[in-house]
Structure 1
Amino acid sequence: MKKYIIYTAILAIGLVLGYVFFGPSAEGSVNSKKVTDLSEDVNHSEEHQMWTCSMHPQIMQPEPGDCPICGMDLIPAETGAEGLAMNEIKMSDNAMALANIQTTIVGNISGTDDNKITLSGKIMANEEANAVQASYFEGRIEKLNVNFTGEEVRKGQLLATIYAPTLVAAQQELLTASDLKESQPGLYKAVRNKLKLWKLSESQIDQIESSGKVRENFPIYATVSGTVSQKMAEEGDYVKQGQPIVKVSDLGTVWAMFDAYERQISQLKEGQKVTITSNAYPNKEFEASVSFIDPTLNTKSRTVSVRATLNNKENLLKPGMFVTAKVAMTKGNTMEIAISIPATAVMWTGERSLVYVKTNPNEPVFEMQEVTLGTKNGENYTIIEGLSNGDEVVTNGTFTVDAAAQLQGKKSMMNASGGKTMTGHEGHLGMENLNNTVDAAKRMDVASKFQEQLKTVFDDYIMLKTALTNDQSEKAKTAAQTLQKSLTQVDLALLKDKNANNHWAQLEKELKASSNEIAQTSDIKTQRNHFISLSAHLINAMKAFGINQEIYIDFCPMANNNEGAYWLSTEKEIQNPYYGQAMLNCGEVTETVQ
């Protein structure tokens, strides 16, 4: 018994000694593994750590060193953009709020209309009910009783009075022939018929004959009732026989004209019922039937015209009004619903149409996407290619997102290829090459008159910039108000090219919004915040249209909460509007626009 007790004691002592000597070693092994893993993670993190300059954040290098521009020591770059794709850009919450960047989900997400085709179009006058009132004889319009387009006329109403020299001679023939009607009845009848061909009534001819006097002025009466849709002559005009004077439309019925895409044609047929709605009466539906499908396809837009005739006895529908139609699809058809986006989402370069897509639903991450546009219906474009159902696109502040993409060397409107800056001395050259690429972008060909008007806008901008430079908030407020007036004087009609016209329309909207914010406040900090967006959009305009003057694009890396901001100047000397007298010479010239 004593022997078993001794054996048990020896075993217990052995277990204790084993734990004492070998337990820490095993734990050390585990800790050693943890330290090794941590070291690997640190090394892995260091491999992906980028280094930047606090004064020139466009510089990115994979290792520490000196800034190739100013020579300052590089600092570790923030890792907030980690995980972004090559051409994705992440905006800060401050930048999103400042630029009022808004997004819209495109396509049909709910699926409630999956069994219907949606067509966009507009109301037109029913051409079958149109009538042209012409002059039946040659002469001068002495009196025109139609005063304006849209005026209502009734059948039999006096439209115009015309002095007709040819009728004067014909009346004289009538008076002569009336004296010979007994002896030469054939001649008398021929003269009367001649006057009838000029639409003179029997009573008018009898009155001339009985009075024995020649009339110089003759009336023209309306042959139909309706609305004057076009005045085709003015009082005092000399008109030929058969020349139109006014166009009258009967708006008791109107046409709804729609564009249907090639892939939708098989779902449409004449007599098909459609439900039509309009922005003017959002809660009212109009029932109609397809009355005509154009037999030819528009090769540019790849669409056909589809027409429905609508009863308009209440005169609710006006020609030019935009409408939407829903057409039931054939059962079992899985045709894709066409996607449309607001026109404010689209940027034009002269050759490409671009939008910014939000690639992360939970964070403000965007990427530029090239799209192919279809027809424009109201303030929306139909997308033929480039977007999918459910994509979220930037619909307000698009140019601000694009400016941020340019700053970070990502694909942008003026830089189709994108690309990060390089390291060391090559990095400096890489930035210069990027600027040259921007300068070499295709400038839109516009009228010199438009450039002169844009020059006035630029001069007012310089006044605003100078006021901010001198810390004069009241003068900045006044300059912004003057800038707004100059923007209203820019004539959009001078831009004959569609892309140039659309491009300026978007820029003008952004410029007006930013200048309006500056003009409504005397707080210079708020003014400077909105000056960031104003400058970004005006820089875009200067590059796209030019003003026949050499100007400089300056950059301050510390402005906009150290995210950097640009402005325009007429001289090379830096005069910083974002910090004014506090840091007047902070910044550098990055580009020269010829």
Structure 2
Amino acid sequence: MKKNIIYVGVALIIGLLGGFLLFGGDVATNNDNHDHSEAVAKNQMWTCSMHPQIMQPEPGDCPICGMDLIPAESGAEGLALNEIKMTDNAMALANIQTVLVGNASEAEGNFLLLSGKVMPNEEANAVQASYFEGRIEKLNVSFTGEKVRKGQLLATIYAPALVAAQQELLTAASMKTSQPALYKAVRNKLKLWKVSDTQIDQIESSGKVRENFPIYATVSGTVSEKMAEEGDYVKQGQPIVKVSDLGTVWAMFDAYENQISQLKEGQKITVTTNAYPNKEFEATVSFIDPSLNTQSRTVSVRATLNNKDGLFKPGMFVTSKVQMSKNIDNKSLISVPASAVLWTGSRSLVYVKTNPNEPIFEMREVTLGSKNGDNYTIVDGLSNGEEVVTNGTFTVDAAAQLQGKKSMMNAEGGKTMTGHEGHLGMQPDASGDTAGTTDHSEMKERIVVSNKFQNQLKQVFEDYILLKDALVNDDPTSAQQAGKQIDQSLKKVDMKLLTDEKAHNHWMTIQKELKTSANAIKNSSDIATQRGHFKHLSAHMISSVQLFGINQKVYIEFCPMADGDKGAYWLSLEKEIRNPYYGEAMLKCGEVEAVLE
């Protein structure tokens, strides 16, 4: 028995010792390991269950609804502060395309491309003025653009002072033998009024006073401006018409600082215009502005074009191709397609895909150089080999706005649009509504367009409202019809009304996105599918109204539960919430986020 007890005791001691040797080290090690919870806590982001676009580094209240923030999933997908991740479905829906950017290659040709506009040659302009005070009895110029020739009768004027001077002439003529100095002085007085010797002799020989005197053209050309009308009373020296000799015209270009060294006066360049796409015209650089425009960082370059055949019309857009020096260094210049660039007025922006394997994007501000065909050279902001969005850029920007990241309309980022502070550049007025004011001047900037273009855009907007109402009423058939009407109204928008190149490029991009969404809605009878496309359509409709305006008060409204709690915006003419994403199921869900005046 004693031996058995000894054996059991020894076995127990050996077992404990073996367990310690096998597991004790790990236990000790585990006890010695530092706790990672502190590091995890430092990287923990907090979000709102109702507004997942809210991301804050510390717990607290949601700035939109006031609910307690909850821990976000593992570092918010590992995104940087101003990165945005899109779903594969959204990428496919918006047809987002990207391209790797590279150096400006020699394949583009060793040429510098400048864009400009045709203007009248100011050196060949002449203002036809009245030589005396009086009333225009007859104006022989009917309209702007009318051609006149040198010596042609332009106008007939009744001049009381000239009538009195003729009376003096007749009186002095009767005394010219006794008062030759007086006679000569009166004749000279009439000559100062551009009355010819022949006309003075006729007055003197006839003995009759002429009440109406003619004004003749001193140059040949085209009437560029009528500055007086028949029946007007004009003063001596007052302009009547402006005549431009369009035998030669000016092509005015803007050149960036880094392009100035490639230009000099007397240099031969080639000019093309959309009016004659298969023709190249030779011009000569006649002037380079000695002063730099500090806002655009450009200088004005003027070239003179021979226009004896009248092919060039003032106001035409032209492009110039300038042969560059062979020693110019293109290796440091990055080239991107023009469709990749967004403008806010003072900033040029692109969206960069920061993860080659994931649809993750970041807005990047860039400095543009020259435009070479359909590409821009990037002076600063991009590196060789980066991937940029070339199609669907507005869609990516709209997604960035929804998530409160840096975007075209929100230079600062970090805020989402609420009824109190909005990334669309709206601030609350005294009544609680948001008005079109902002702390950032860039957000206030709207592209100036003609009233005619705004009216055409307004028709698209009115069809959009019909679509919104159809979705509110859970009516997919009416929604299909409204989508068809939007498509038809978009075709009637005249892009020629947009004379500004940036406005033209913006509208081309927006129009394409609107058309894609409208066609998708008209081709689907499923209201859930229609609502999915309506979110995309609304984002671009908001952009178009913000950029161009429609001369009408419009409410921007938001539902935080739409699109799987990601939230979605829409436009409305009414302050009262009527939700197009849920219809009768949740008709009142949402809030007014901003007001576009």
TM-score, normalization by structure 2: 0.67
Which stretch of structure 1 is more off in the superposition, 137-146 or 540-549?
540-549
Which sections of structure 1, spanning at least 5 residues, go unmatched? 1-46, 420-429
Aligned to 1:470: 473
Shift of 1:346: 2.0
Cα 1:181/1:442, change in 2 over 3 Å: same
Conservation of the 8 A alpha-carbon contact between 1:355 and 1:368: yes
CA distance in 2 between partners of 1:510 and 1:333 (Å): 38
Conservation of the 8 A alpha-carbon contact between 1:375 and 1:382: yes
Q: Describe the superposition over 1:486-518 as per-residue Cα deviations: whole angstroms up to 9, x where unpaired.
A: 9x99xxx9xxxx9x9999979985897589759
CA distance in 1 between partners of 2:46 and 2:184 (Å): 105
Which stretch of structure 1 is more off in the superposition, 467-476 or 324-333?
467-476
1:567 maps onto 2:570 in alignment:
yes
What amino acid sits opposite 1:346 in the alignment? L
1:369 maps onto 2:364 in alignment:
yes
Aligned to 2:318: 323
Matches within 5 A, 1:505-516: 513=515
Q: Describe the superposition over 1:391-412 as per-residue Cα deviations: whole angstroms up to 9, x where unpaired.
A: 6655664443222223345433
Cα 1:351/1:331, change in 2 over 3 Å: closer
Shift of 1:228: 1.4
Cα 1:467/1:221, change in 2 over 3 Å: same
Cα 1:174/1:283, change in 2 over 3 Å: same
Which stretch of structure 1 is more off in the superposition, 189-198 or 465-474?
465-474
Shift of 1:183: 3.1
CA distance in 1 between partners of 2:159 and 2:373 (Å): 46
Cα 1:163/1:117, change in 2 over 3 Å: same
Shift of 1:170: 0.9
Matches within 5 A, 1:384-423: 385-387=380-382, 393-394=388-389, 397-413=392-408, 416=411
1:141 to 132, 136, 140: 136
1:300 to 289, 295, 298: 295
1:253 maps onto 2:259 in alignment:
no
Shift of 1:130: 1.5
Which stretch of structure 1 is more off in the superposition, 299-308 or 509-518?
509-518
Cα 1:236/1:508, change in 2 over 3 Å: farther
Shift of 1:282: 2.3
Cα 1:587/1:94, change in 2 over 3 Å: farther
CA RMSD in angstroms comes to 5.4
1:183 maps onto 2:178 in alignment:
yes
Matches within 5 A, 1:95-106: 95-96=90-91, 98-99=93-94
Conservation of the 8 A alpha-carbon contact between 1:120 and 1:322: yes
CA distance in 1 between partners of 2:303 and 2:416 (Å): 57
1:152 maps onto 2:153 in alignment:
no
Shift of 1:474: 6.2
Shift of 1:565: 3.2
1:536 maps onto 2:539 in alignment:
yes
1:115 maps onto 2:110 in alignment:
yes
Shift of 1:153: 1.0
* Percent identity of equivalent pairs: 65
Cα 1:322/1:77, change in 2 over 3 Å: same
Conservation of the 8 A alpha-carbon contact between 1:174 and 1:188: yes
Q: Secondary structure at the match of 1:285?
A: strand
Conservation of the 8 A alpha-carbon contact between 2:53 and 2:566: no
Aligned to 1:580: 583
Aligned to 1:36: none
Conservation of the 8 A alpha-carbon contact between 1:173 and 1:191: yes
Shift of 1:461: 5.7
Q: Secondary structure at the match of 1:112?
A: helix
Q: Secondary structure at the match of 2:113?
A: strand
Which sections of structure 2, spanning at least 5 residues, go unmatched? 1-39, 428-437
Q: Describe the superposition over 1:6-38 as per-residue Cα deviations: whole angstroms up to 9, x where unpaired.
A: xxxxxxxxxxxxxxxxxxxxxxxxxxxxxxxxx
Shift of 1:463: 5.4
What amino acid sits opposite 1:227 in the alignment? T
Matches within 5 A, 1:277-292: 277-292=272-287
TM-score, normalization by structure 1: 0.68
Conservation of the 8 A alpha-carbon contact between 1:123 and 1:321: yes
Aligned to 1:220: 215
Shift of 1:352: 5.2
Q: Describe the superposition over 1:507-548 as per-residue Cα deviations: whole angstroms up to 9, x where unpaired.
A: 985897589759977957475454323422455678899987
CA distance in 2 between partners of 1:375 and 1:331 (Å): 17
Q: Secondary structure at the match of 1:300?
A: coil
